[in-house]
A and B are shown apart, each in its own frame.
Chain A
Amino acid sequence: MTPVLSVRDLSIDYRTRRGPVHAVRDVSFDIAKGETVAIIGESGSGKTTLAVSLIRLSPRSARITKGAILYTNARETIDIRTVAEDELRQYRWSECAMVFQAALNSFNPVINIWEQFADTARAHGMKDSAAIHARANELLDLVHLDPARVLKAYPHELSGGMKQRVLIALSLLLEPQLIILDEPTTALDILTQRAIIDLLGTLKKKLGFSMIFISHDLSIAAELADRMITMYAGTVVERASVTDLFYRPRHPYSVGLLRAVPRVSGAMGAVESIPGSPPDLIRLPPGCTYIPRCPLAIAACADREPDLVPVDTPDHDARCIRWKTVAEQVGTAEVAVAEKIATA
């Protein structure tokens, strides 16, 4: 089956005065129908840059230097990088809906929620107000909101959680095949986070769309994801299924991320943050970008940046020449690592 989205060797640069910032480098991944992929990384890892490029909404200073973004639906396959402007506008939201980070400011403050629903619907050819209204009601019900109250309201009258739900409802308006969520729960309190994650899980099962979930929070992403991709310094460092990543990580960065997740149950301690900070994306070192923070770095690591290579489990790749060593180390602490999932 052709994947819904296929990203091949995507590279994106930002123009700055100091020189081009290589924000995204040689990123490749596939998303199958109905699959949820989580992209995990810290700030500056390039995940948002990657995400906005998938709907070609990058700022003017960004430039795709290489690669392709192939989207496939029942009828055709298009390359988002080259598709025409009006087809792109159709693609946005009806095929692929993106819910931004800081959803709190995703709404026009001076018009009410109904208008914003209607605007979206009308932009995609729905003309009958009654039909739009019926659909809006249906969607708001689906996210457990009171349509009568919400549609009349203005954005500032809704709480962060409510706005996030409205955005999720809105994103389902045209029944897209793919929904991209960039840090959907970051700005919310923990109870609301829980509610949103549960909601997303239910909707995913019910409606069957593919989802890209971008976050820096491993445990939240793990709940919804089938597969996970960790990004570091603009490139993919590990690609695996959720269980593989948690039980059998093969890149030191992934291990570091896992160790940084605090455990609710079990012994205290062994929560470590990764020392150091990400590299300068303008002047990248010749070898592996993770060396300064990697406990397993050796001289050979600095020769050239490692390729993304398959490891010992199927559909699992890591960008590390010492993945076997990682495997050995993790193997002995496998129980500890696995406990994280139980408590997340």
Chain B
Amino acid sequence: MTLGSYVATQAIAAQGVSVRYGDAQTGLLAVDDVSLLVAAGEWVSIVGPSGCGKSTLLRAIAGLQPLTAGRVEILGASPQAAQAGKRLGLVFQEPALLPWRDVEANVRLPLIVNKSSEPGVDRTAELLGMVGLEAFAHYRPHELSGGMQQRVALARALAHDPDLLLMDEPLASLDEITREQMRYELLRIWEQASVQRPKTVIFVTHSVAEAVALSDRVLVMSARPGVIKASVSIDLPRPRRPEHERDAVFLDYLDSIRGQLRDETAEEAGA
């Protein structure tokens, strides 16, 4: 799962990506000239203050956000081709499930749209087991807790066995206790799902600890304009364990990334 083993294949290649909202001259420059290479199977996290353009960058990679400049390639083709081939799996801060469908039908959603793409095997039951919700297949989302709903969203994002998992603060709306448990649950599910096909992850988060614990590489993003300020490779062994969070190396990574973010907020306060 490290950079070295997949260096030949780039899952994501972004070059000079800029996104400006509103007016072409005076509008808010949410993302400014960001270039990015992500290897297949790599887990890359993007951390940064609120409103720094992390989510915009993620939507640009998914082909959901028109670019003002630059280009994005997913697996050597356009994001639109990746959409058409059902190569993308999205998870958001909110579960964003369909409230009128039960858990199983929600997870199956990617299989029933865009059927011109390869039909794919129905792995719904297996995925529900993987996220620990096999007993809740016929519950409606509102009957589940927030953490369980987010597991459904994760299973849904994996249902069509995508190559890319794009997650926008997927743990942010959970309570502290659930959030810490979900951190390693997420890793386990990703590792399990990656057995059949390696899954490249872009993971947007506010939490530095989360980013270091999960990622092969952490990108620090600054706000206004949104640029990638630093890229930190996390050389911790996989599979990651909660114990690693007590290692001196882990804490060093935390300090260094938090330092970058502090500079960022200090600059903003001074400006």
Whether chain B is bound by chain A comes out as: no
Residues of A at the B interface (CB closer than 8 Å) are none
